[in-house]
A = this chain, B = another copy of it.
Amino acid sequence: MTELAQGARFAAENLACIRGERPVFSGLDFTLESGGALLLHGPNGSGKSSLLRILAGFLQPVDGRLTWNGAALGEAPEAHRERLHYVGHLDAVKPTLTVAENLRFWARSRGHPQAADDALARLGLDALADVPGRFLSAGQRRRAALARLFATPAPLWLLDEPTVTLDAEATARLEGIVRAHRAAGGMVVVATHTEIGLEEATRIDMGEHSVSVEAAVGASADDSPGDADDEPW
């Protein structure tokens, strides 16, 4: 794990996000250094998943900028893709492939085929290696999704409610895994509603940044009719 870039810096300035034509959050800043962790919490619908999708590059923020070691992400999207792992709400486990095959595909596509078996062991999946994805229980499938984190080393992990449906043992494993990743210089951004053992994490309460409906509606209602033309689209 020593391959991870030491001394990297991932920063966001004044990010704003709109989904389905409705503003979700704005004015969000953070800085993440090697070994750091960002813990996103906040009520349902406050924009945690949306922020993670922005950090992964799926969504474009409507305002603000993201930088890696000072360089804007937009300039080299491929480089950014290569340095991150994203585990979202969906598990990306193919029902007809076995757990090992599922994992090996991802490991191989980034050139680390030997990583797959090790990854299975780390999440307690060795016994399920030859079981097709469709036979997995909810928690087993989640473990298989998390095993992808080991498919290839990447400094930035983006985890959207990773402990959902995991049992206590698997949650403890995941905490250990994240700790080791950070010790090796990796960074992690985790969205969660439950407590998760993340030492010295920067906490962001998404609720504080969310653009409340009232504010959004109120703002336009307050405008004098003459100013309406100057409103954004």
Q: Of B44, B138, B194, B213, which is within 8 A of A44 by CB? A: B138
With A161-B165, A164-B164: A170-B135 Cβ-Cβ less than 8 Å = no
B89 touches A45 (CB 8 A): no
Chain A interface residue count: which class? 20 to 34
**Stoichiometry (number of copies):** 2
B194 touches A140 (CB 8 A): no
Chain A positions 2-51 with a Cβ under 8 Å from a chain B Cβ: 19-20, 22, 42-45, 49
Q: For the complex, is A79 an interface residue (Cβ under 8 Å from B)?
A: no
Contacts of A74 in B (CB 8 A): none
Query: Across the two chains, which residue of chain B brings its CB closest to A128?
Result: B45
Task: Please measure, in the bound complex, the distance between the C-alpha atom of A137 and the C-alpha atom of B49, giving whole angstroms.
Answer: 8
Task: Please measure, in the bound complex, the distance between the C-alpha atom of A199 and the C-alpha atom of B78, giving whole angstroms.
Answer: 52
Chain A positions 153-180 with a Cβ under 8 Å from a chain B Cβ: 161, 164-171
Binding site for B on A (CB under 8 A): 19-20, 22, 42-45, 49, 89, 127-128, 135-140, 142-143, 161, 164-171, 193-194, 213
Shortest 3 CB-CB contacts between residues of A and residues of B:
A44-B139, A45-B137, A43-B167
